[in-house]
Structure 1
Amino acid sequence: MKRLCTICARGGSKGVKNKNIRPMMDHPLIAFSIKQAKQSGLFDCVAVSSDSKEILEAARKYGADLLIERPVQMATDESAKLPAIQHCVSEVEKQLKVTFDTLVDLDATSPLRIVEDIQGAVELLERKQCSNVITAAPARRSPYFNLVELNTKGFVQLSKKLDQTIVRRQDSPKCYDMNASIYVWSRNALHGANSVFYEDTMLFEMPEERSIDIDSEVDFMFVDFLLNQKRDLYETLFL
């Protein structure tokens, strides 16, 4: 069983400038994902894809096995991430002349995950032999109870209705917030895919406190606070 980990990090972030190499706990943000992948012991190769020389240099410094230059057209504000992952996988397989069985992408802006989350998501895919696994946390709002939208007349209604009235959120169907932290695919599923959802997509649950994705300055400050609250745990990545 051969496994590849990709970490795709473009240089043109607008919400938080240079966030992928911005220092956090004295290390560039992308370093957390590289070190977590390495410490998991799962991967034959950890590859970082970027359009930024600064990001690729930071990735080299923190132990990435391969550096993949992302094409400019895959690194715009409008670019989807999935083609960048597919490009990275294709380039790694071409360079190493290896075909990987399990493909994992770690989001560089989700440093709060722990090694056991990566191991658990990969184990779930390989045990269930499904197309892919996504990670998510229990949702704080339920479309059946307290998540609302405006209808065509401009009036408020629940986003999803059930036949029976729900009077407690705990009684509504379980819902989850995708945290974009870890994606796991079988090779056949990733090849040619244009969505992360398949008929047999499975979910690996992570707690809310490990599911924050940095997309704003407030996110960055909050994640930095949480990392420092468990500094002893995360510092072990860099020993």
Structure 2
Amino acid sequence: MPSMAEALRLLQFGDSVFPVGAFAFSNGLEMAVQHEVVHDRSTLQEFVRTVTRAAATSDGVGMLAGHRSALAGDLDRIRRADEAVHVRKINEEMRTMTVRMGRKLAEAANRIVGESLLRKRAGEAGNGIPVTYPVALGVLFADLGVGEEEAFAAHQYGVASMVLGAAVRLIRVDHLDAQSILFAVNEKVADDYQECRSATLDDMQAFTPHLDILAGAHQHAHVRMFMS
């Protein structure tokens, strides 16, 4: 079990309102609503589960790689994890999301935590491979003594919270509906972790072509509330 301090660090940096700019992104929901893929509570829950499932097998694997690399003190492996996440974002908006949130997390950690492996990684990111959010989160949690299972859960919680935070501004669901969906989706996190825990960076994949198409359409939309 995590210590009290570790649990509080998990709550702080895994909080859905932690200032990394997640509120500015819908993770594909905005265009799904416009195209009526999502139109009520039931379809919203299906969408959130699809997004979190895709996140587990792609970004979640990168997050675990970042966490394990940080524990080993291996900056090169962290860099390779960032590259693996970045090159798999085939849509420009999704690349922007993961890089912007990764940079914001690194900046916040630098100010709050101080010297860390994430700070070193962020310091050399301008020379090529950018910091990505899931890898940065894994590195930060490793630096803070938070275990990888808890780190994976926090990452998945953040993905679901991002979509549901956008949902209450896009469709006719209230905050209690959103919390009920979050509660249901969270029950799948342990199963996703068991499936992804032995995956390597080469195993990372997120086969969700319908989400990719919606993301591509969003990039050319004239009126948008969100950046993705």
1 or 2, which has the higher strand percentage?
1
Q: Tell me if TM exceeds 0.5.
A: no
Which entry has the higher C-alpha Rg, 1 or 2?
Answer: 1
Q: Which has the higher contact order (CA 8 A, sep 6+)?
A: 2
With normalisation by structure 2, the TM-score equals 0.29
With normalisation by structure 1, the TM-score equals 0.28
